[in-house]
């Protein structure tokens, strides 16, 4: 009998992070395929509302570590409660999922290394399926495994997707990018009879080796590109950081708009990381995505391909982005964008527009 | 003024050079044998951080660059020496092929333990890049930290060291955090940290000298070891030691495949076509 499917919840200020709800939605499907429970490990302080929230999102069992030491995420404290609790189990969870956030990417590898188990990073697809291992130097690994966690992610620099699995040891772990899975439908109220297990917090001296001196959250000013209706995104084709100004002018034509960026130009410090779209940035689904000078590498594509309308502007008619954009303009973005701004501005004057149509 | 001598390690990796077209097949896949090689760009920040950390310690502080890879990866060790590290160490062994992150973290941990032993004491600081450009996992650093029972600071943007503590600024979800961590610690450096400075003329000459020196002298600066030297168990390395495998890869087909192309006309015409084809654009235009 397989162990359960467990999602480690992420919280900020006792509120459940959206990625946790997304994972519960997807985790439910995996649990159903395995015929096991979906559980959620909630770690924080004053988490009663959070517990209700994860239950409404589908958790069938909750493990709760509620302690004032856990109010803010701390690597060693969070690691302690997870490792101590799961070490007691005779059957470990089959699958253990965390968000691929700065928090999940800090915590998941520590847990994986402790249990000497596999961990797939930045997964974009999850499933359960069979696998037969027929060759290899280690004979103990041979065999047929009917229920493996399939975790798929883009493979480096290639237009390939790789399925990664590791049925030899549970828990089979993966981190998943926020925004990849939709938020599940929430129940109106939490169903009765869901078991909430209080997890002991036995911190040791060595867990206190790191101290938080100050936490600065930029909730007000923080750029949240995932909530925008229109994203004007730039890539290396901008040629220099000064191109960002032009993108801003175009974005300014739209309501609820924001600047997006390819990883390349974030690495070049033309724009800050919160603007980054793609595998190592944010996953976005705006109504309109205007990609300017972005070639469309797979890592970028996985972060924006679910946009309603994609317009690509690129000098190179063979750029991969034209294979999945809806509208492609082959041209110099320094000519195309000013013209687009010009037309959008003149069109918004209704009289002007009628004159044109006449 | 902090006078404690610091033993600093920086983990670096050689990755395919994606800036050049060499080794990139027409279908977008990479021919790793043909592709050029480069220092993982994220590791350049870690290298600079390690060199900065050395200045924060006592006068006998030293930096050792460590890598795992096939023999040609020696190039990035020379590069690290040109930038001013004191010593380099490479784990190179065919039995490491197909290592996943867990097996990699085990092998690197054994390599570090080997270095600690050679040096007569455990390291104080290990710097890593945030992630590699060919794996993109960001997992190996924290996995090593767990194995060595180090404290860890991921996504570090700035730091200072005094006595046995690191004061650091790090990125967290929705903001930043100032933390204080006891040594020994493993730090992964965010790419918002300082860029790697140019190699020095002295460094370049030094490396030229080493390359021309006797094997014995070379080994003082560039030490190459295998699994046996660092007492790594073969079954915990490479494919055998990896709890995960890639079971299947497939090409991601064209998603839309219905791109309406606008080209070969004046810019005004091209833009007019798109604006007219997409009335949704105007729905979001500010009034």
Domain of A342: which CATH number?
3.40.50.1220
Rounded Cα gap, residues A76 and B186, in angstroms: 13
Are A192 and A282 found together in one domain?
Answer: no
Helices (H), B84-179: 101-119, 140-148
Are A33 and A137 found together in one domain?
Answer: yes
What SS3 state is found at B35? Answer: coil
Chain A: give the shortest CA distance to residue B197, in Å: 15
pLDDT digits (tens, 9 = 90+) for A189-200: 999 899 999 999
pLDDT at position B173: 84
What is the b/e burial string over B67-81, where b = at least 16 CB atoms within 10 angstroms of the residue's CB?
Answer: bbbeeebbebbbbbb
Nearest CA in chain B to A176: B137
pLDDT at position A139: 84
- pTM of this prediction? 0.83
Of A114, A169, A272, the CB nearest to B146: A114
Are A199 and A233 found together in one domain?
Answer: no
Could you state, in order of their start, the residue ranges of all structural domains in chain B? 7-236
Indicate the residue among A173, A208, A243 that finishes a domain.
A208
Which one of A159, A292, A302 would you mutate to disrupt binding with B, by most B Cβ within 10 Å of its Cβ? Answer: A159
pLDDT at position A351: 45
CB contact under 8 A, A327 and B262: yes
B173 within 8 A of A12, measured Cβ to Cβ:
yes
Rounded Cα gap, residues A299 and B171, in angstroms: 22
Chain A: give the shortest CA distance to residue B233, in Å: 13
Indicate the residue among A208, A234, A263 that finishes a domain.
A208
pLDDT at position B282: 86
Are A140 and A34 found together in one domain?
Answer: yes
B89 within 8 A of B221, measured Cβ to Cβ:
no
Which distant-in-sequence residues (6+ apart) come within 8 Å of A258 by Cβ? A223, A224, A225, A228, A230, A231, A232, A251, A275
Chain B: give the shortest CA distance to residue A37, in Å: 24
pLDDT digits (tens, 9 = 90+) for B38-79: 999 999 999 999 999 999 999 999 999 999 999 999 999 999
CB contact under 8 A, B134 and A157: yes
**How buried is A261 (Cβ within 10 angstroms: 0-12 exposed, 13-18 middle, 19+ buried)?**
buried
Which one of A83, A278, A327 would you mutate to disrupt binding with B, by most B Cβ within 10 Å of its Cβ? Answer: A327
pLDDT at position A221: 52
Of B147, B260, B285, the CB nearest to A113: B147
B144 within 8 A of B112, measured Cβ to Cβ:
yes
Are A68 and A203 found together in one domain?
Answer: yes
Q: Does residue A219 belong to any structural domain of this protein?
A: no
pLDDT digits (tens, 9 = 90+) for A275-287: 999 877 888 999 9
Are A330 and A245 found together in one domain?
Answer: yes
First to last CA, chain A: 73
In the β-sheet with A95-99, what is the strand arrangement from edge to edge?
A119-123, A172-176, A95-99, A5-8, A38-44, A61-66, A195-198
Which residues is B63 bridged to in the sheet? B8
Are A272 and A331 found together in one domain?
Answer: yes
pLDDT at position B286: 83
Are A268 and A316 found together in one domain?
Answer: yes
B125 within 8 A of B185, measured Cβ to Cβ:
yes
**pLDDT confidence bin for A272, thresholds 50/70/90:** confident
Chain B: give the shortest CA distance to residue A58, in Å: 24
**pLDDT confidence bin for A227, thresholds 50/70/90:** confident
Listed ranges A66-80, B28-42, B187-201; the one with the highest mean pLDDT: A66-80
Are A274 and A247 found together in one domain?
Answer: yes
Residues of chain B with C-beta less than 8 angstroms from the C-beta of A163: 246-249
Kindly state the helix (H) or strand (E) to which residue A110 belongs, with its residue range: helix A104-115
Which distant-in-sequence residues (6+ apart) come within 8 Å of A240 by Cβ? A270
Q: Does residue A218 belong to any structural domain of this protein?
A: no
B108 within 8 A of B9, measured Cβ to Cβ:
no
Rounded Cα gap, residues A224 and A245, in angstroms: 19
Return the percentage of chain B with pLDDT > 90, whole number: 73
Rounded Cα gap, residues A14 and A307, in angstroms: 31
A306 within 8 A of A179, measured Cβ to Cβ:
no
pLDDT (mean) for B5-30:
78
pLDDT digits (tens, 9 = 90+) for A88-126: 999 999 999 999 999 999 999 999 999 999 999 999 899
Nearest CA in chain B to A271: B192
Are A9 and A139 found together in one domain?
Answer: yes
The DSSP string of B231-247 is T--GGGSTTTT-S-EEE
Phi/psi at A298 (nearest 5 deg)?
-55, -40
CB contact under 8 A, B261 and A159: no
Fold that domain B7-236 belongs to in CATH: Rossmann fold (3.40.50)
Are A174 and A238 found together in one domain?
Answer: no
Phi/psi at B139 (nearest 5 deg)?
-100, -30
Nearest CA in chain B to A79: B146
What is the b/e burial string over B1-39, where b = at least 16 CB atoms within 10 angstroms of the residue's CB?
Answer: eeeeebbbbbbbbbbbbbeeeebbeeeebbeeeebebbb
Stretch among A119-123, A181-185, B1-5, B181-185 having the lowest mean pLDDT: B1-5
Chain B: give the shortest CA distance to residue A211, in Å: 5
Mean pLDDT, chain A, whole residue set: 91
ipTM value for the complex: 0.88
Per-residue H/E/C for B248-272: EEEECCCCCCCCEEECCCCHHHHHH
Residue A141, both tokens? 């690994």
Q: Does residue A347 belong to any structural domain of this protein?
A: yes
What SS3 state is found at A301? Answer: helix
Q: How many domains does chain A have?
A: 2
| Residue B151 region by backbone torsions, left for phi larger than 0, else alpha for psi between -120 and 50, else beta | beta
pLDDT (mean) for A334-345:
93
pLDDT at position B252: 64
pLDDT at position A119: 98
Of A154, A273, A279, the CB nearest to B192: A273
pLDDT digits (tens, 9 = 90+) for B64-118: 999 999 999 999 999 999 999 999 999 999 999 989 999 999 999 999 999 999 9
Are A139 and A164 found together in one domain?
Answer: yes
Question: Which structural domain range is residue A53 located in?
Answer: 5-208
Q: What CATH number did the domain enclosing A152 receive?
A: 3.40.50.620
User: Quick check: bond before B54 cis, omega within 30?
Assistant: no
**pLDDT confidence bin for A350, thresholds 50/70/90:** low
Of A113, A119, A288, the CB nearest to B280: A288
Residue A316, both tokens? 């190179």
Nearest CA in chain B to A178: B173
What SS3 state is found at A151? Answer: strand
pLDDT at position B188: 98
């Amino acid at each position: 009998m397989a162990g359960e499917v467990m999602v480690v919840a992420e919280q900020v200020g006792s509120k459940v992070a959206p990625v946790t709800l997304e994972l519960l939605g997807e985790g439910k499907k995996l649990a159903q395929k395995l015929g096991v429970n979906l559980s959620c490990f909630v770690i924080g302080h004053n988490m009663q509302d959070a517990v209700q929230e994860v239950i409404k999102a589908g958790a069938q069992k909750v493990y709760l570590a509620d302690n004032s030491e856990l109010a803010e995420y701390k690597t060693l404290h969070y690691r302690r409660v997870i490792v101590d609790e799961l070490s007691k189990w005779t059957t470990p969870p089959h699958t253990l999922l965390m968000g691929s956030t700065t928090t999940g990417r800090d915590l998941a590898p520590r847990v994986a290394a402790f249990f000497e188990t596999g961990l797939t990073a930045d997964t974009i697809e999850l499933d359960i399926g069979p696998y037969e291992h027929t060759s290899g130097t280690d004979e103990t690994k041979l065999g047929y495994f009917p229920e493996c966690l399939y975790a798929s992610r883009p493979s480096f620099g290639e237009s390939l997707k790789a399925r990664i699995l590791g049925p030899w040891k549970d828990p089979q772990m993966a981190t998943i990018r926020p925004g990849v899975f939709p938020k599940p439908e929430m129940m109106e109220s939490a169903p009765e009879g869901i078991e909430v297990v209080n997890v002991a917090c036995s911190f040791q001296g060595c867990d206190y080796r790191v101290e938080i001196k100050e936490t600065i959250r930029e909730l007000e000013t923080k750029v949240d590109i995932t909530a925008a209706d229109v994203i004007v995104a730039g890539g290396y084709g901008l040629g220099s950081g000064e191109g960002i100004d032009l993108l801003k002018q175009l974005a300014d034509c739209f309501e609820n708009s924001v600047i997006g960026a390819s990883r390349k130009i974030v690495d070049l410090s033309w724009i800050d990381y919160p603007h980054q779209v793609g595998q190592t940035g944010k996953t976005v689904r705006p109504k309109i995505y205007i990609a300017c000078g972005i070639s469309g590498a797979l890592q970028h594509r996985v972060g924006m391909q679910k946009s309603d309308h994609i317009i690509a502007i690129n000098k190179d008619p063979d750029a991969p982005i034209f294979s999945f954009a809806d509208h492609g303009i082959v041209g110099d973005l320094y000519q195309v964008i000013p013209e687009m701004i010009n037309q959008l501005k003149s069109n918004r004057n209704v009289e002007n527009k009628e004159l044109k149509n006449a | 003024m902090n006078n404690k001598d610091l033993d600093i390690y920086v983990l670096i990796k050689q990755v395919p050079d994606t800036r050049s077209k060499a080794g990139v097949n027409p279908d977008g896949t990479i021919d790793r044998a043909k592709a050029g090689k480069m220092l993982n760009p994220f590791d350049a920040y870690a290298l600079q951080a390690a060199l900065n950390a050395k200045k924060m310690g006592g006068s006998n502080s030293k930096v050792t660059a460590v890598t795992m890879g096939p023999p040609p990866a020696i190039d990035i060790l020379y590069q690290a020496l040109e930038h001013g590290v004191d010593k380099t160490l490479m784990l190179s062994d065919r039995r490491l092929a197909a290592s996943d992150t867990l097996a990699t973290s085990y092998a690197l941990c054994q390599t570090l333990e080997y270095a600690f032993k050679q040096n007569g004491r455990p390291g104080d600081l290990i710097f890593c890049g945030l992630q590699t450009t060919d794996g993109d996992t960001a997992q190996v650093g924290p996995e090593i930290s767990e194995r060595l029972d180090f404290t860890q600071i991921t996504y570090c943007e700035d730091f200072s060291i005094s006595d046995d503590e690191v004061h650091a600024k790090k990125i967290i979800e929705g903001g930043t955090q100032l933390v204080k961590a006891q040594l020994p610690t493993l730090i992964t450096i965010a790419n918002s940290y300082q860029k790697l400075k140019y190699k020095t003329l002295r460094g370049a000459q030094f490396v030229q000298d080493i390359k021309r020196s006797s094997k014995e002298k070379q080994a003082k600066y560039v030490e190459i070891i295998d699994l046996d030297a660092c007492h790594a168990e073969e079954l915990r390395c490479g494919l055998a030691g990896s709890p995960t495998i890639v079971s299947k890869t497939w090409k991601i087909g064209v998603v839309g495949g219905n791109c309406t192309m606008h080209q070969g006309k004046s810019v005004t015409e091209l833009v007019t076509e798109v604006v007219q084809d997409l009335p949704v654009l105007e729905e979001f235009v500010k009034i």
